[in-house]
Amino acid sequence: MEADPRVDLGGFYWFTGDTIAVQVTFLGTSSGVPTRSRNVSGIVLKLPQRSELWLLDCGEGTQHQFLRSDLRPSQITRIFITHMHGDHIFGLMGLLASIGLAGQPHPIDLYGPPPLADYLKACQRYSQTRFSFPITVHPVEPGVIFEDEEYLVTCAPLEHRVPAFGYRFVEKDRPGRFDLDRAIAAGIPAGPLYGQLKRGETVTLPDGQRFNGQDFCAPPETGRKLVYCTDTVYCDRAVTLAAGADVLIHEATFAHQDAQLAFDRLHSTSTMAAQTALGAGVEALILTHFSPRYAPGNAIELKDLLDEARAIFPNTHMAKDFWSYEIPRRRSPLPSASSEAPQPTQGTKKAAKITEK
């Protein structure tokens, strides 16, 4: 594992690492009810190179958690709701109303189960709330729910007492980095030729030397994948949704010993979450949505849930409120780091001389 890039500032973290990392911050990690140290569900994705936040679930008090963090609700552009239970949606109206009063500058898109639109309309009607900015509610169905030039978001139904959806956030692959030093070393003059090489094209210099752009570019960078599964009992659809993800955020409401409660209430144990991570072949698992029954001093504590999960899936983390996790970009090495300098391909006196030797 790589060195931890976080610096602990008394419960908050300042990142010293790659600024193009996707940052995931937990604003609430308790299930059902808040506790003194854990609010109900709310997770923020901070997207690199965009001043945008995406919010996953919005339990009661989420706007207060924003105030206690360095994240700004005015940057929220999309909100993804997993299901209609109160610990995932009771913060929505308050948050949206406050954003509106603060002079929200841009529209917000909401994604969630079909009843979400009716719920918000009813709240608006009975509280006579008017929003000063456009809110669009997109009822989700399994499959693609959002796509732009950089991201693809899909969802799949999970197994809970009401319809619940897991979300998969995929960053699209990007072209590999251009090896500027290598181009300079090859004697290629700066200018439009570099643009052609970056696109993988072959260029011809005035003296007839030809260079293949692919010799100057790293392999394409694989986009990062984050999957969020809550609330659910173990199900194969979660494994499929999480396949190959960099990070799986999965609920672990109960300890393994309380598996019967998990089956009865259609929640997961720590070991079910770990089995899902293992089956999906993810890089890292983050547990959240914990029952308050495992507070310190009880017979089973949260660290026991972490130990249980790690016995099955070692790279497991346990979320706490205001904890952030950074997903670095998967960068490929530049060509100069791994191979000989490129030679012109044909049609040059220089090349002919090399051949003769």
Q: CB-wise, 209 or 253, nearer to Zn ion? A: 253
Q: For residue 278, what are its two tokens? A: 């293992």
Least gap, CB of 109 to Zn ion (angstroms) = 23
Nearer to Zn ion, 85 or 225 (CB): 85
From 113-121, 228-236, 240-248, 341-349, span contacting Zn ion (CB under 5 A) = 228-236
3-state secondary structure of 98: helix
User: Can you tell me which of 57, 171, 179, 231 binds Zn ion, judged by CB under 5 A?
Assistant: 231
14 within 8 A of 5, measured Cβ to Cβ: no
User: Could you tell me if 248 and 287 are in contact, meaning their C-beta atoms sit under 8 angstroms apart?
Assistant: no
CB of 83 to Zn ion, least distance (A): 6
Q: Which of 57, 60, 87, 246 is in the footprint of Zn ion by CB under 5 A? A: 87
Site string for Zn ion, 28-57 (x = CB under 5 A): ---x--------------------------
Instruction: Give the nearest distance from C-beta 229 to Zn ion in angstroms.
Output: 12
Stretch that binds Zn ion, among 81-89, 106-114, 179-187, 308-316 (CB under 5 A): 81-89
Which C-beta is closer to Zn ion: that of 233 or that of 285?
233
CB of 52 to Zn ion, least distance (A): 26
| Torsion-angle region of 66 (φ positive above 0: left; ψ -120 to 50: alpha; else: beta) | alpha
Strands 202-204 and 210-212: antiparallel
C-alpha dist (Å) from residue 292 to 165, 319, 325: 23, 14, 23
Binding part of the chain for Zn ion, among 8-16, 82-90, 220-228, 327-335 by CB under 5 A, reads 82-90
Interface with Zn ion (CB under 5 A), residue from 38, 46, 78, 85? 85
For residue 51, give both structure tokens.
């001043």
Nearer to Zn ion, 198 or 267 (CB): 267
> Nearest residue to Zn ion, using CB?
85
| Three-state SS at 88 | helix
Stretch 129-168 residues interacting with Zn ion (CB under 5 A): none
Residues in the interface with Zn ion (CB under 5 A) total 4
Residue 49 phi, psi dihedral angles, 5° rounding: 60, 20
Name the CA radius of gyration of the chain, rounded: 25
Residue 229 Cα distances to 40, 83, 86, 165, 178, angstroms? 15, 11, 17, 7, 37
Measured from the CB of residue 164, what is the shortest distance to Zn ion in angstroms?
Answer: 7
- Amino acid identity for residue 119 in this structure: Y
Catalytic sites, residue numbers: 87
What is the smallest separation between the CB atom of 35 and Zn ion, expressed in angstroms? 14
CB atoms within 10 A of CB 276: 27
Q: Give the tokens for residue 308.
A: 């249980």
Structure tokens at 34: 């808040």
Least distance to Zn ion, CB of residue 59, Å: 8
**Judged by CB under 5 A, does residue 60 bind Zn ion?**
no
Nearer to Zn ion by C-beta: 38 or 85?
85
Toward Zn ion, which CB reaches closer, 183 or 266?
Answer: 266
Write 201-210 long-range contacts (CB < 8 A, 24+).
202/345, 204/347, 205/344, 207/348, 207/349, 207/350, 208/347, 208/348, 208/349, 209/344, 209/347, 209/348, 209/350, 209/351, 210/344, 210/345, 210/346, 210/347, 210/348
Of 23 and 82, CB closest to Zn ion: 82
Per CB under 5 A, contacts with Zn ion among 279-318 are none
Binding span for Zn ion by CB under 5 A among 18-26, 135-143, 224-232, 336-344: 224-232
Site residues (vs Zn ion, CB under 5 A): 31, 85, 87, 231
